[in-house]
Amino acid sequence: MPVSLCGNWDMVSNVNFEGYMIALGISLYTRKIALKLKHRKVIEQVGDQYVVKTLSTFRNYTFSFRVNEEFEEFTKGLDLRHCKSLVTWEGNKLVCIQEGEKKNRGWSHWIEDDKLHLELHCEDQVCKQVFKRVI
């Protein structure tokens, strides 16, 4: 059983978020605002259903899924795209493939040194975020 990702997590680092946002076609104006944000990640699990919230002072993004079950994702408040998404465990990593207009889009979450790690990728860009546990 992989270690639980559940909890409240605050961003401590965010490498190449700019490149990731450019790959998603986010406007310069929005990127300038988004780059300054400290995200909070709230991960909850109810039964086999996960809820992942990404919260900030600018925008919030919440979605839920069941592992190994494809779902329709709409990136409301972000790049406004529809994806067919699938989340699976690969060893100790929770891995999501977001199939849609953008090639090579997805993310993975794992815990390392008591920190929550997130790698976001789109086309040739990789963004690396690290979060520390709060409370």
Could you list the residues that contact ligand VL7 (CB under 6 A)?
A: 21, 24, 26, 30, 34, 37, 39, 41, 52, 54, 56, 58-61, 78-79, 107, 118, 120
Q: What string of DSSP letters covers the chain?
A: -PPP--EEEEEEEEESHHHHHHHTT--HHHHHHHHT---EEEEEEETTEEEEEEE-SS--EEEEEETT--EEEE-TTTT--EEEEEEEEETTEEEEEEESSSTT-EEEEEEETTEEEEEEEETTEEEEEEEEE--
User: How far, in whole angstroms, is CA 38 from its chain's centroid?
Assistant: 13
Residue 114 Cβ, how far from ligand VL7 at the closest point, in Å? 18
Residue 135 Cβ, how far from ligand VL7 at the closest point, in Å? 19
Residue 37 Cβ, how far from ligand VL7 at the closest point, in Å? 6
Residue 78 Cβ, how far from ligand VL7 at the closest point, in Å? 4
Residue 55 Cβ, how far from ligand VL7 at the closest point, in Å? 7
**CB-wise, 68 or 74, nearer to ligand VL7?**
74
Token pair belonging to 76: 């409301």
**CB-wise, 1 or 29, nearer to ligand VL7?**
29
Residue 130, amino acid: V
